[in-house]
Amino acid sequence: AQSVTQLDSHVSVSEGTPVLLRCNYSSSYSPSLFWYVQHPNKGLQLLLKYTSAATLVKGINGFEAEFKKSETSFHLTKPSAHMSDAAEYFCVVRNYGGSQGNLIFGKGTKLSVKP
Amino acid sequence: DTEVTQTPKHLVMGMTNKKSLKCEQHMGHRAMYWYKQKAKKPPELMFVYSYEKLSINESVPSRFSPECPNSSLLNLHLHALQPEDSALYLCASSQDERGLDEQFFGPGTRLTVL
C-alpha cells in the first residue's frame, strides 16, 4: 500500500529566504511522486514529478525535490521564496494498488511568505 | 491547447435544483477525473473515465451523476444536493488510460448549495 505524510501543516518564511516543505512516503512499489501547488480558489498545478529517473527533480518556478529512498523522503525546496509562492502545497504518490488513476494526496502544507 | 477548462466557475443552487458542471480538455488525454475538495482538505476522487467507461467511487452519493459525451468532455450532473455538498469541484485529465502519469487539473467550480 502507498501513503504520503506531509510533516508540516503550515510553514512560514520571509521573502528571499529558502523554502523547505517536507514529505515522507510509503510504497510497496517503486513510487511515482508528485508535488502540486494550489493558490487560493484555484485548481492544482503540477510543480514536478519523480518517476524513477534522476533523484534530483527540477520543477517550475525554481522548485526542486530530491528523492531519497533510504529516508523515504521527497522534500520540496526553493532557494529563495517569492511572495507569489504563498499557496497550499500537496505531496502526492501514485496508488498502484487501488482504483485506476487514484492519486494519494498528503494533507497539504500551507506556505506563507512574509515581506 | 494545454489546459483543462471547467464551467461555470461559480454555481449557487438550491436543494431541489438540477444543474450540471462541465469539463473539457483538448490535449487528447485518454482519462478524465472528477474530484471534490472541501476547504483546507486535499481533493477526494469521485469518478474516473478511462477505457471508454466510467468508474465510480462507491462512497459517492447517487445525487452526483457523471456523463461522458465524448473523449474530451466530462459532465457532472447534480440533483437534490445537500448543503454539505458545497465544495470546490475539480476536473483533471491524464494522457495514460491506466492513470500512470501525472494529472492536469482545471481551475474548478465553486459550488454552494443553499
User: Residue A99: pLDDT above 80?
Assistant: no
- pLDDT string in tens for chain B (114-residue length): 569 999 999 999 988 889 999 999 989 998 999 999 999 999 999 999 887 788 877 889 999 999 998 889 999 999 999 999 999 999 999 988 777 788 999 999 999 999
Q: What is the reported pLDDT for B1?
A: 57
Asked if B41 lies within 8 A of A107 by C-beta distance, the reply is: yes
- Element (H or E) spanning B85, and its range? none
B42: helix, coil or strand? coil
Chain A residues near any Cβ of chain B (below 8 Å): 32, 34, 36, 41-46, 49, 90, 94, 99-103, 105-108
Q: How far is CA A100 from CA A95, B74, B108, B111, in A?
A: 8, 17, 22, 26
Sequence-ordered alpha helix ranges (H) in chain A: none
In this complex, do A108 and B40 lie within 8 Å of one another by their Cβ atoms?
Answer: yes
Nearest to B63 by CA among B41, B88, B43, B85: B85
pLDDT digits (tens, 9 = 90+) for A39-83: 998 899 999 999 877 899 999 999 999 999 999 999 999 999 999
Grid cell in block for residue B104: 492536469
Contacts of A41 in chain B (CB under 8 A): 88, 108, 110
CB B97 within 8 A of CB B30: yes
CA distance A51 to B60: 31
CB atoms B107 and A43 under 8 Å: yes
Give B50's contacts (C-beta < 8 A, 6+ positions apart).
Answer: A100, A101, B30, B31, B32, B97, B98, B99
Cα separation, A13 vs A23, in Å, equals 18
- Listed in order, strand segments (DSSP E) in chain B are 4-7, 10-13, 18-25, 31-37, 44-50, 53-56, 64-70, 73-79, 87-94, 104-105, 109-113
Minimum CA–CA partner of B45 in chain A? A102
